[in-house]
Structure 1
Protein backbone atom coordinates (compact mmCIF):
# COMPACT_ATOMS: atom_id res chain seq x y z
CA UNK A 1 0.00 0.00 0.00
CA UNK A 2 2.85 2.36 0.85
CA UNK A 3 4.45 1.65 -2.53
CA UNK A 4 1.22 2.44 -4.35
CA UNK A 5 -0.08 5.43 -2.39
CA UNK A 6 3.19 6.81 -0.95
CA UNK A 7 1.37 7.95 2.19
CA UNK A 8 4.52 8.80 4.15
CA UNK A 9 5.72 11.11 1.38
CA UNK A 10 2.36 12.87 1.21
CA UNK A 11 2.28 13.20 4.99
CA UNK A 12 5.63 14.93 4.89
CA UNK A 13 4.52 17.28 2.11
CA UNK A 14 1.22 18.04 3.79
CA UNK A 15 2.95 19.00 7.04
CA UNK A 16 5.38 21.17 5.08
CA UNK A 17 2.56 22.96 3.28
CA UNK A 18 0.60 23.43 6.50
CA UNK A 19 3.60 25.01 8.20
CA UNK A 20 4.26 27.25 5.20
CA UNK A 21 0.63 28.35 5.27
CA UNK A 22 0.80 29.09 9.01
CA UNK A 23 4.07 31.00 8.65
CA UNK A 24 2.68 33.05 5.76
CA UNK A 25 -0.50 33.80 7.72
CA UNK A 26 1.43 34.86 10.83
CA UNK A 27 3.68 37.14 8.78
CA UNK A 28 0.62 38.90 7.37
CA UNK A 29 -1.62 38.96 10.42
CA UNK A 30 1.02 40.70 12.53
CA UNK A 31 0.31 43.86 10.51
CA UNK A 32 -3.49 43.58 10.73
CA UNK A 33 -4.89 46.70 12.48
CA UNK A 34 -7.88 47.07 14.77
CA UNK A 35 -9.87 50.26 15.38
CA UNK A 36 -11.84 51.11 18.50
CA UNK A 37 -13.06 54.08 20.51
CA UNK A 38 -13.66 55.17 24.08
CA UNK A 39 -17.17 55.32 25.51
CA UNK A 40 -18.57 58.54 26.91
CA UNK A 41 -18.93 61.89 25.18
CA UNK A 42 -17.66 62.33 21.65
CA UNK A 43 -16.13 59.05 20.43
CA UNK A 44 -12.34 59.18 20.28
CA UNK A 45 -11.21 56.65 17.69
CA UNK A 46 -7.79 55.03 17.66
CA UNK A 47 -6.10 52.29 15.66
CA UNK A 48 -3.64 49.73 17.00
CA UNK A 49 -1.77 46.62 15.92
CA UNK A 50 -2.97 43.93 18.38
CA UNK A 51 -0.20 41.50 17.48
CA UNK A 52 2.77 43.83 17.90
CA UNK A 53 1.76 46.82 20.03
CA UNK A 54 2.30 46.79 23.78
CA UNK A 55 -0.87 47.19 25.85
CA UNK A 56 -0.22 48.49 29.36
CA UNK A 57 -2.91 47.80 31.96
CA UNK A 58 -3.35 50.42 34.69
CA UNK A 59 -4.48 48.04 37.43
CA UNK A 60 -6.04 49.28 40.66
CA UNK A 61 -6.60 45.83 42.13
CA UNK A 62 -4.71 42.93 40.58
CA UNK A 63 -6.89 40.38 42.37
CA UNK A 64 -9.92 41.53 40.38
CA UNK A 65 -8.32 40.76 37.02
CA UNK A 66 -9.36 37.57 35.24
CA UNK A 67 -6.84 37.07 32.45
CA UNK A 68 -8.88 34.21 31.00
CA UNK A 69 -11.67 36.69 30.16
CA UNK A 70 -9.56 39.40 28.53
CA UNK A 71 -10.33 38.15 25.03
CA UNK A 72 -14.00 38.91 25.63
CA UNK A 73 -13.53 42.00 27.79
CA UNK A 74 -11.20 43.78 25.36
CA UNK A 75 -12.51 43.64 21.80
CA UNK A 76 -9.25 44.95 20.32
CA UNK A 77 -7.39 41.88 19.09
CA UNK A 78 -10.25 39.54 19.97
CA UNK A 79 -10.16 36.11 18.37
CA UNK A 80 -13.80 36.64 17.46
CA UNK A 81 -12.60 39.35 15.06
CA UNK A 82 -9.97 37.14 13.45
CA UNK A 83 -7.05 38.12 15.68
CA UNK A 84 -5.00 36.01 18.08
CA UNK A 85 -5.63 38.16 21.13
CA UNK A 86 -3.40 40.83 22.64
CA UNK A 87 -0.01 39.23 22.22
CA UNK A 88 2.00 41.67 24.35
CA UNK A 89 0.37 42.80 27.60
CA UNK A 90 2.18 44.78 30.31
CA UNK A 91 1.70 45.84 33.90
CA UNK A 92 3.95 48.03 36.04
CA UNK A 93 6.19 46.14 38.42
CA UNK A 94 5.58 46.70 42.13
CA UNK A 95 8.68 46.26 44.36
CA UNK A 96 6.53 44.81 47.17
CA UNK A 97 5.88 41.74 45.01
CA UNK A 98 9.55 40.84 45.04
CA UNK A 99 9.85 41.52 48.76
CA UNK A 100 6.80 39.38 49.58
CA UNK A 101 8.05 36.60 47.34
CA UNK A 102 11.41 36.58 49.12
CA UNK A 103 9.78 36.53 52.55
CA UNK A 104 7.42 33.69 51.57
CA UNK A 105 10.03 31.61 49.77
CA UNK A 106 8.85 28.30 51.29
CA UNK A 107 5.13 29.08 51.16
CA UNK A 108 4.66 30.81 47.83
CA UNK A 109 1.20 29.30 47.46
CA UNK A 110 0.06 31.74 50.17
CA UNK A 111 0.59 34.76 47.92
CA UNK A 112 -2.69 35.77 46.17
CA UNK A 113 -0.97 37.83 43.46
CA UNK A 114 1.23 34.87 42.57
CA UNK A 115 -1.85 32.71 42.09
CA UNK A 116 -3.23 35.33 39.68
CA UNK A 117 -0.06 35.20 37.58
CA UNK A 118 -0.06 31.39 37.51
CA UNK A 119 -3.66 31.38 36.29
CA UNK A 120 -2.75 33.97 33.66
CA UNK A 121 0.07 31.74 32.40
CA UNK A 122 -2.16 28.69 32.01
CA UNK A 123 -5.55 30.25 31.24
CA UNK A 124 -4.76 33.53 29.47
CA UNK A 125 -6.64 33.46 26.16
CA UNK A 126 -4.54 34.72 23.26
CA UNK A 127 -1.82 36.15 25.48
CA UNK A 128 1.68 35.57 24.19
CA UNK A 129 3.61 37.35 26.90
CA UNK A 130 2.92 39.42 29.99
CA UNK A 131 5.60 42.00 30.61
CA UNK A 132 6.53 43.71 33.86
CA UNK A 133 7.66 47.30 33.31
CA UNK A 134 10.25 48.50 35.81
CA UNK A 135 10.73 52.27 35.48
CA UNK A 136 13.55 52.01 38.01
CA UNK A 137 15.64 49.84 35.68
CA UNK A 138 17.54 51.75 33.00
CA UNK A 139 20.00 50.61 30.36
CA UNK A 140 23.55 51.73 31.06
CA UNK A 141 24.95 54.50 28.89
CA UNK A 142 28.02 52.41 28.03
CA UNK A 143 26.02 49.28 27.15
CA UNK A 144 26.45 47.91 23.61
CA UNK A 145 23.77 48.69 21.00
CA UNK A 146 20.56 46.82 21.76
CA UNK A 147 19.58 44.20 19.16
CA UNK A 148 15.88 44.64 18.54
CA UNK A 149 13.75 41.76 17.28
CA UNK A 150 10.45 41.95 15.44
CA UNK A 151 7.60 39.48 15.25
CA UNK A 152 4.76 38.92 17.69
CA UNK A 153 6.38 35.92 19.38
CA UNK A 154 9.87 37.34 19.77
CA UNK A 155 9.43 41.12 19.91
CA UNK A 156 11.72 42.62 22.54
CA UNK A 157 11.43 46.39 22.04
CA UNK A 158 8.53 48.80 22.28
CA UNK A 159 8.36 52.57 21.89
CA UNK A 160 6.56 55.08 24.12
CA UNK A 161 6.35 58.83 23.57
CA UNK A 162 9.35 59.62 25.76
CA UNK A 163 11.34 56.38 26.00
CA UNK A 164 11.80 52.91 24.60
CA UNK A 165 11.04 49.79 26.62
CA UNK A 166 13.51 46.94 26.13
CA UNK A 167 13.53 43.34 27.29
CA UNK A 168 15.89 42.52 30.13
CA UNK A 169 17.31 39.02 30.39
CA UNK A 170 16.48 37.53 33.80
CA UNK A 171 18.53 34.33 33.77
CA UNK A 172 21.38 35.93 35.71
CA UNK A 173 21.26 39.00 37.94
CA UNK A 174 25.00 39.61 37.61
CA UNK A 175 24.91 39.34 33.81
CA UNK A 176 21.87 41.61 33.51
CA UNK A 177 23.45 44.35 35.62
CA UNK A 178 26.39 44.58 33.24
CA UNK A 179 24.09 46.43 30.83
CA UNK A 180 21.37 47.64 33.19
CA UNK A 181 21.29 49.61 36.45
CA UNK A 182 18.73 50.37 39.12
CA UNK A 183 18.28 54.14 39.49
CA UNK A 184 17.16 53.79 43.10
CA UNK A 185 17.99 50.81 45.27
CA UNK A 186 14.89 48.71 45.99
CA UNK A 187 15.10 46.10 48.72
CA UNK A 188 18.85 45.66 48.26
CA UNK A 189 18.51 45.36 44.49
CA UNK A 190 22.10 46.51 43.94
CA UNK A 191 23.26 43.35 45.70
CA UNK A 192 23.30 40.61 43.07
CA UNK A 193 22.45 37.99 45.71
CA UNK A 194 19.16 39.60 46.71
CA UNK A 195 15.84 38.40 45.28
CA UNK A 196 13.72 41.50 45.87
CA UNK A 197 14.70 43.02 42.51
CA UNK A 198 12.51 42.87 39.42
CA UNK A 199 15.12 40.75 37.63
CA UNK A 200 15.11 38.02 40.27
CA UNK A 201 11.34 38.32 40.69
CA UNK A 202 10.61 37.50 37.05
CA UNK A 203 13.11 34.64 37.07
CA UNK A 204 11.58 33.18 40.24
CA UNK A 205 8.04 33.68 38.91
CA UNK A 206 8.77 31.85 35.67
CA UNK A 207 10.37 28.97 37.58
CA UNK A 208 7.38 28.75 39.93
CA UNK A 209 4.98 28.63 36.98
CA UNK A 210 6.97 25.87 35.29
CA UNK A 211 6.94 23.89 38.55
CA UNK A 212 3.14 23.81 38.46
CA UNK A 213 3.21 21.65 35.33
CA UNK A 214 3.03 17.91 35.98
CA UNK A 215 4.54 15.98 33.03
CA UNK A 216 3.06 12.75 34.39
CA UNK A 217 -0.47 14.14 34.12
CA UNK A 218 -1.68 13.16 30.65
CA UNK A 219 -4.35 15.87 30.72
CA UNK A 220 -2.07 18.64 31.97
CA UNK A 221 -1.20 21.48 29.61
CA UNK A 222 1.94 23.56 29.63
CA UNK A 223 1.74 27.29 30.25
CA UNK A 224 0.37 29.20 27.27
CA UNK A 225 1.79 32.55 28.32
CA UNK A 226 5.31 33.57 29.29
CA UNK A 227 6.50 36.44 31.49
CA UNK A 228 9.21 38.95 30.76
CA UNK A 229 10.78 42.15 32.10
CA UNK A 230 11.08 45.53 30.41
CA UNK A 231 13.56 48.19 31.44
CA UNK A 232 13.89 51.49 29.63
CA UNK A 233 16.30 53.63 27.67
CA UNK A 234 16.27 57.08 26.10
CA UNK A 235 14.91 57.44 22.59
Structure 2
Protein backbone atom coordinates (compact mmCIF):
# COMPACT_ATOMS: atom_id res chain seq x y z
CA UNK A 1 0.00 0.00 0.00
CA UNK A 2 1.39 3.40 -0.97
CA UNK A 3 2.36 5.76 1.83
CA UNK A 4 0.13 8.81 2.39
CA UNK A 5 3.06 10.80 3.74
CA UNK A 6 4.28 13.58 1.46
CA UNK A 7 7.95 13.62 2.40
CA UNK A 8 8.99 16.63 0.24
CA UNK A 9 6.49 18.89 2.11
CA UNK A 10 9.22 20.69 4.15
CA UNK A 11 10.94 21.66 0.89
CA UNK A 12 7.89 23.50 -0.43
CA UNK A 13 7.97 27.33 -0.29
CA UNK A 14 6.74 28.72 3.04
CA UNK A 15 3.82 30.47 1.32
CA UNK A 16 2.60 27.19 -0.16
CA UNK A 17 3.02 25.35 3.14
CA UNK A 18 0.95 28.04 4.86
CA UNK A 19 -1.78 27.61 2.25
CA UNK A 20 -1.87 23.88 2.97
CA UNK A 21 -2.21 24.51 6.71
CA UNK A 22 -4.88 27.16 6.08
CA UNK A 23 -6.85 24.68 3.99
CA UNK A 24 -6.56 22.09 6.77
CA UNK A 25 -7.88 24.62 9.31
CA UNK A 26 -10.87 25.40 7.09
CA UNK A 27 -11.83 21.71 7.14
CA UNK A 28 -12.33 21.79 10.92
CA UNK A 29 -15.90 21.70 12.29
CA UNK A 30 -17.57 25.09 12.35
CA UNK A 31 -18.55 26.92 15.52
CA UNK A 32 -21.31 25.21 17.38
CA UNK A 33 -19.18 22.16 18.17
CA UNK A 34 -19.70 19.32 20.64
CA UNK A 35 -17.09 18.49 23.29
CA UNK A 36 -17.25 15.66 25.84
CA UNK A 37 -15.62 15.63 29.28
CA UNK A 38 -15.90 13.74 32.54
CA UNK A 39 -16.73 16.03 35.43
CA UNK A 40 -15.40 14.97 38.81
CA UNK A 41 -14.64 16.46 42.19
CA UNK A 42 -11.36 16.23 44.08
CA UNK A 43 -12.84 13.62 46.39
CA UNK A 44 -13.06 11.14 43.49
CA UNK A 45 -9.60 11.74 42.03
CA UNK A 46 -8.14 8.52 43.48
CA UNK A 47 -10.80 6.49 41.66
CA UNK A 48 -9.67 7.72 38.22
CA UNK A 49 -7.48 4.73 37.42
CA UNK A 50 -5.90 4.71 33.95
CA UNK A 51 -2.63 3.87 32.24
CA UNK A 52 -2.75 7.24 30.48
CA UNK A 53 -3.24 10.64 32.15
CA UNK A 54 -6.95 11.38 31.97
CA UNK A 55 -7.27 14.66 33.86
CA UNK A 56 -7.25 17.81 31.79
CA UNK A 57 -4.11 19.88 32.25
CA UNK A 58 -4.83 22.54 34.90
CA UNK A 59 -5.30 26.06 33.50
CA UNK A 60 -3.35 27.50 36.41
CA UNK A 61 -1.42 25.04 38.63
CA UNK A 62 -1.19 27.66 41.38
CA UNK A 63 -4.96 27.71 41.87
CA UNK A 64 -6.63 24.87 43.75
CA UNK A 65 -9.99 23.77 42.40
CA UNK A 66 -12.50 21.30 43.79
CA UNK A 67 -14.00 20.33 40.42
CA UNK A 68 -12.05 19.20 37.37
CA UNK A 69 -12.49 17.99 33.81
CA UNK A 70 -11.11 14.69 32.58
CA UNK A 71 -11.30 12.41 29.54
CA UNK A 72 -14.86 11.39 28.64
CA UNK A 73 -16.44 8.00 29.34
CA UNK A 74 -17.64 7.30 25.80
CA UNK A 75 -16.69 3.61 25.90
CA UNK A 76 -18.68 2.95 29.06
CA UNK A 77 -19.06 4.15 32.67
CA UNK A 78 -15.71 4.53 34.39
CA UNK A 79 -13.71 3.91 31.19
CA UNK A 80 -12.03 7.27 30.67
CA UNK A 81 -10.17 7.88 27.43
CA UNK A 82 -9.36 10.93 25.34
CA UNK A 83 -9.40 8.81 22.18
CA UNK A 84 -11.58 5.68 22.44
CA UNK A 85 -15.04 6.28 20.90
CA UNK A 86 -14.70 9.99 21.66
CA UNK A 87 -16.99 12.01 19.34
CA UNK A 88 -15.63 15.37 20.51
CA UNK A 89 -14.83 18.04 17.95
CA UNK A 90 -11.62 18.91 19.78
CA UNK A 91 -10.03 15.70 18.41
CA UNK A 92 -10.26 17.21 14.93
CA UNK A 93 -7.82 19.99 15.77
CA UNK A 94 -5.24 18.56 18.18
CA UNK A 95 -3.15 17.35 15.24
CA UNK A 96 -2.88 20.86 13.83
CA UNK A 97 -1.89 22.28 17.20
CA UNK A 98 0.85 19.68 17.56
CA UNK A 99 2.09 19.00 14.02
CA UNK A 100 4.78 21.68 13.87
CA UNK A 101 5.54 25.31 14.63
CA UNK A 102 4.03 26.50 11.34
CA UNK A 103 0.72 24.71 11.90
CA UNK A 104 0.53 26.10 15.45
CA UNK A 105 1.09 29.62 14.12
CA UNK A 106 -1.78 29.18 11.66
CA UNK A 107 -4.06 27.83 14.41
CA UNK A 108 -3.11 30.69 16.71
CA UNK A 109 -3.81 33.20 13.96
CA UNK A 110 -7.11 31.54 13.03
CA UNK A 111 -8.57 31.15 16.53
CA UNK A 112 -6.71 33.73 18.66
CA UNK A 113 -7.58 31.67 21.75
CA UNK A 114 -7.71 32.95 25.30
CA UNK A 115 -6.04 31.05 28.13
CA UNK A 116 -8.60 28.73 29.78
CA UNK A 117 -8.19 30.46 33.14
CA UNK A 118 -8.21 33.99 31.72
CA UNK A 119 -11.51 33.29 29.97
CA UNK A 120 -13.14 32.60 33.32
CA UNK A 121 -11.57 35.51 35.18
CA UNK A 122 -14.28 37.58 36.92
CA UNK A 123 -12.83 40.82 35.55
CA UNK A 124 -12.59 39.67 31.95
CA UNK A 125 -13.80 41.95 29.18
CA UNK A 126 -17.17 41.09 27.56
CA UNK A 127 -15.37 40.93 24.20
CA UNK A 128 -13.64 37.75 25.38
CA UNK A 129 -16.92 35.90 24.80
CA UNK A 130 -16.14 36.03 21.08
CA UNK A 131 -12.87 34.14 21.51
CA UNK A 132 -12.32 30.45 22.28
CA UNK A 133 -10.74 29.16 25.46
CA UNK A 134 -7.52 27.19 24.95
CA UNK A 135 -7.37 23.93 26.89
CA UNK A 136 -4.94 21.02 26.94
CA UNK A 137 -4.62 17.40 27.96
CA UNK A 138 -1.79 14.88 27.95
CA UNK A 139 -1.99 11.87 25.66
CA UNK A 140 0.67 9.53 24.32
CA UNK A 141 3.30 11.49 26.21
CA UNK A 142 2.49 14.79 24.51
CA UNK A 143 0.50 17.89 25.38
CA UNK A 144 -2.57 18.10 23.13
CA UNK A 145 -4.17 21.52 22.75
CA UNK A 146 -7.73 22.31 21.72
CA UNK A 147 -10.18 25.21 21.69
CA UNK A 148 -13.71 25.59 23.04
CA UNK A 149 -16.15 28.43 22.44
CA UNK A 150 -17.93 28.41 25.84
CA UNK A 151 -20.87 30.49 24.64
CA UNK A 152 -21.67 28.70 21.36
CA UNK A 153 -20.19 25.19 21.69
CA UNK A 154 -21.90 22.26 23.41
CA UNK A 155 -20.13 21.01 26.53
CA UNK A 156 -21.30 17.50 27.36
CA UNK A 157 -20.37 16.83 30.99
CA UNK A 158 -20.43 13.23 32.19
CA UNK A 159 -20.45 13.17 36.02
CA UNK A 160 -18.03 10.58 37.35
CA UNK A 161 -20.05 10.42 40.55
CA UNK A 162 -23.51 12.00 40.49
CA UNK A 163 -23.56 12.14 44.29
CA UNK A 164 -20.63 14.55 44.46
CA UNK A 165 -21.70 17.13 41.86
CA UNK A 166 -23.12 20.42 43.13
CA UNK A 167 -23.62 22.69 40.13
CA UNK A 168 -23.83 25.85 42.19
CA UNK A 169 -20.33 25.31 43.57
CA UNK A 170 -18.45 24.65 40.35
CA UNK A 171 -15.39 26.88 40.29
CA UNK A 172 -12.88 28.32 37.84
CA UNK A 173 -11.32 24.95 37.05
CA UNK A 174 -13.94 24.84 34.31
CA UNK A 175 -14.09 28.55 33.87
CA UNK A 176 -16.69 28.60 31.13
CA UNK A 177 -19.23 27.00 33.44
CA UNK A 178 -18.64 29.38 36.33
CA UNK A 179 -19.03 32.37 34.06
CA UNK A 180 -22.01 30.90 32.25
CA UNK A 181 -22.06 28.33 29.46
CA UNK A 182 -24.22 28.78 26.44
CA UNK A 183 -24.99 25.07 26.06
CA UNK A 184 -24.46 22.16 28.45
CA UNK A 185 -25.48 18.54 27.81
CA UNK A 186 -25.98 15.30 29.70
CA UNK A 187 -26.18 11.89 28.03
CA UNK A 188 -29.68 10.57 28.69
CA UNK A 189 -30.04 7.27 30.54
CA UNK A 190 -33.48 5.58 30.22
CA UNK A 191 -32.96 4.13 33.72
CA UNK A 192 -33.64 7.62 35.04
CA UNK A 193 -37.31 7.16 34.09
CA UNK A 194 -37.68 4.39 36.69
CA UNK A 195 -36.08 6.58 39.35
CA UNK A 196 -38.37 9.47 38.48
CA UNK A 197 -41.42 7.21 38.57
CA UNK A 198 -40.43 6.18 42.11
CA UNK A 199 -40.15 9.85 43.11
CA UNK A 200 -43.61 10.56 41.72
CA UNK A 201 -45.10 7.59 43.57
CA UNK A 202 -43.46 8.61 46.84
CA UNK A 203 -44.38 12.28 46.27
CA UNK A 204 -40.80 13.36 46.88
CA UNK A 205 -38.72 16.04 45.21
CA UNK A 206 -35.48 14.79 43.62
CA UNK A 207 -34.22 18.38 43.77
CA UNK A 208 -33.65 18.03 47.52
CA UNK A 209 -32.43 14.42 47.59
CA UNK A 210 -29.12 13.91 49.36
CA UNK A 211 -27.69 11.82 46.53
CA UNK A 212 -28.48 10.01 43.30
CA UNK A 213 -28.62 10.87 39.58
CA UNK A 214 -32.04 12.54 39.82
CA UNK A 215 -30.77 15.01 42.39
CA UNK A 216 -27.90 15.97 40.09
CA UNK A 217 -30.14 16.16 36.99
CA UNK A 218 -32.92 18.09 38.69
CA UNK A 219 -30.47 20.65 40.03
CA UNK A 220 -28.88 20.98 36.60
CA UNK A 221 -32.34 21.76 35.20
CA UNK A 222 -32.92 24.42 37.87
CA UNK A 223 -31.45 27.87 38.27
CA UNK A 224 -28.54 26.37 40.24
CA UNK A 225 -26.85 25.52 36.94
CA UNK A 226 -25.32 28.58 35.31
CA UNK A 227 -26.07 27.60 31.70
CA UNK A 228 -28.27 29.14 29.05
CA UNK A 229 -29.49 25.78 27.73
CA UNK A 230 -29.42 22.24 29.09
CA UNK A 231 -29.60 19.46 26.49
CA UNK A 232 -30.20 15.74 26.92
CA UNK A 233 -28.54 13.54 24.27
CA UNK A 234 -30.72 10.50 23.52
CA UNK A 235 -28.83 7.95 21.41
CA UNK A 236 -32.03 5.93 20.90
CA UNK A 237 -33.34 8.53 18.44
CA UNK A 238 -32.65 7.90 14.73
CA UNK A 239 -33.71 9.77 11.61
CA UNK A 240 -36.28 8.04 9.41
CA UNK A 241 -34.78 7.09 6.01
CA UNK A 242 -35.68 9.47 3.21
CA UNK A 243 -37.05 12.24 5.43
CA UNK A 244 -36.11 15.90 5.09
CA UNK A 245 -34.51 17.48 8.18
CA UNK A 246 -36.60 20.10 9.92
CA UNK A 247 -35.46 23.69 9.50
CA UNK A 248 -34.31 26.06 12.23
CA UNK A 249 -32.92 23.45 14.61
CA UNK A 250 -29.87 23.79 16.83
CA UNK A 251 -26.95 21.70 15.58
CA UNK A 252 -23.59 20.94 17.19
CA UNK A 253 -20.79 19.29 15.24
CA UNK A 254 -18.58 16.57 16.64
CA UNK A 255 -15.91 14.28 15.22
CA UNK A 256 -17.67 12.69 12.19
CA UNK A 257 -21.09 13.30 13.71
CA UNK A 258 -23.50 16.05 14.65
CA UNK A 259 -26.05 16.54 17.40
CA UNK A 260 -29.41 17.84 16.21
CA UNK A 261 -32.28 19.35 18.19
CA UNK A 262 -35.41 17.18 18.30
CA UNK A 263 -38.92 18.39 19.16
CA UNK A 264 -41.85 16.18 20.24
CA UNK A 265 -43.79 17.22 17.13
CA UNK A 266 -41.04 16.22 14.68
CA UNK A 267 -42.02 13.46 12.26
CA UNK A 268 -38.62 12.73 10.71
CA UNK A 269 -37.32 10.80 13.72
CA UNK A 270 -37.82 7.28 15.01
CA UNK A 271 -37.95 7.83 18.74
CA UNK A 272 -39.32 6.75 22.06
CA UNK A 273 -41.09 9.82 23.39
CA UNK A 274 -40.47 8.69 26.97
CA UNK A 275 -37.64 11.21 27.19
CA UNK A 276 -40.16 14.01 26.70
CA UNK A 277 -42.36 12.45 29.41
CA UNK A 278 -39.31 12.40 31.68
CA UNK A 279 -38.49 16.07 31.07
CA UNK A 280 -42.13 17.12 31.50
CA UNK A 281 -42.44 15.28 34.81
CA UNK A 282 -39.10 16.61 35.99
CA UNK A 283 -40.22 20.16 35.22
CA UNK A 284 -43.56 19.58 36.97
CA UNK A 285 -41.77 18.42 40.12
CA UNK A 286 -39.50 21.45 39.98
CA UNK A 287 -42.56 23.68 39.58
CA UNK A 288 -44.22 22.13 42.62
CA UNK A 289 -41.03 22.55 44.59
CA UNK A 290 -40.75 26.20 43.54
CA UNK A 291 -44.39 26.82 44.46
CA UNK A 292 -43.76 25.52 47.96
CA UNK A 293 -40.78 27.84 48.25
CA UNK A 294 -42.92 30.73 47.00
CA UNK A 295 -45.56 29.98 49.65
CA UNK A 296 -42.91 29.76 52.34
CA UNK A 297 -41.40 33.06 51.19
CA UNK A 298 -44.79 34.78 51.17
CA UNK A 299 -45.25 33.69 54.75
CA UNK A 300 -42.74 36.22 56.03
CA UNK A 301 -42.76 38.88 53.32
CA UNK A 302 -45.96 40.03 51.67
CA UNK A 303 -44.44 41.93 48.77
CA UNK A 304 -42.00 40.08 46.61
CA UNK A 305 -40.21 41.35 43.53
CA UNK A 306 -40.73 39.42 40.32
CA UNK A 307 -36.96 39.52 39.86
CA UNK A 308 -36.52 37.12 42.78
CA UNK A 309 -38.63 34.37 41.20
CA UNK A 310 -37.11 30.93 41.62
CA UNK A 311 -37.52 30.41 37.87
CA UNK A 312 -35.13 33.26 37.04
CA UNK A 313 -31.89 31.88 35.64
CA UNK A 314 -33.29 28.45 34.82
CA UNK A 315 -31.87 27.07 31.54
CA UNK A 316 -34.02 26.12 28.59
CA UNK A 317 -34.35 22.34 28.25
CA UNK A 318 -34.05 20.39 25.00
CA UNK A 319 -33.31 17.02 23.40
CA UNK A 320 -30.56 16.16 20.93
CA UNK A 321 -30.18 13.21 18.57
CA UNK A 322 -26.85 12.05 17.17
CA UNK A 323 -26.37 11.66 13.42
CA UNK A 324 -23.29 10.07 11.88
CA UNK A 325 -21.92 12.20 9.05
CA UNK A 326 -20.80 10.40 5.93
CA UNK A 327 -17.40 11.37 4.59
Structure 1 residues 78, 123: CA separation in 2 closer, same or farther (over 3 Å shift)?
closer
Q: Which of 69, 89, 94 is 2:189 aligned to?
A: 94
| 1:146-173 Cα distance to aligned partner (Å, 9 max, x none) | 2245xxxxxx211112222111224xxx
Alignment of 1:17-28 (within 5 A): none
Matched with 1:52 is: 152
Equivalence for 2:217 = 117
Q: 1:139 aligns with which of 226, 239, 242?
A: 239
- The answer as to whether partners of 2:230 and 2:318 remain within 8 angstroms in 1 is yes
In the other structure, the counterpart of 2:316 is 226
Write out per-residue CA displacement over residues 80-108 of structure 1, whole angstroms, 9 at most, x where no aligned residue: xxxxx222111111110012223442335
2:253, 2:259 within 8 Å by CA — same for their partners in 1? Answer: yes
Equivalent position to 1:212, from 282, 289, 294: 289
1:64, distance to aligned residue in structure 2 (A)? 1.5
SS in 2 for 1:136: coil
Instruction: Measure how far apart 1:33 and its partner are.
Output: 1.4
Could you list the runs of 5+ residues in structure 1 that have no partner in the other structure? 1-24, 80-84, 150-155, 183-188
Rg larger for:
2
Partner of 1:106: 201
Question: Cα offset for 1:110?
Answer: 5.9
- Partners of 1:211 and 1:157 in 2: how far apart? 32
Cα RMSD (Å): 2.9
- Aligned in 2, Cα 1:108/1:45: closer, same or farther, shift over 3 Å? farther
Task: Tell me the equivalent position of 2:133.
Answer: 34
Asked if 1 retains the 8 angstrom alpha-carbon contact of 2:158 and 2:186, the reply is: yes
- The CA distance in 2 between the partners of 1:204 and 1:158, in whole Å, is 26
Residue 58 of structure 1, CA deviation: 2.5
Answering whether residue 247 of structure 2 is matched by residue 157 of structure 1, we say no
> CA offset at residue 230 of structure 1?
0.8
Q: 1:130 aligns with which of 209, 213, 230?
A: 230
Q: Distance in 2 between matches of 1:66 and 1:128?
A: 17
Partner of 1:6: none
Q: Structure 2: where are the runs of 5+ without partners?
A: 1-124, 207-211, 298-303
SS at match of 1:128: strand
Q: Equivalents in 1 of 2:137, 2:203: separation in Å?
A: 39
Displacement of 1:39 = 6.0
Aligned to 1:13: none
Q: How far did 1:144 drift?
A: 3.0
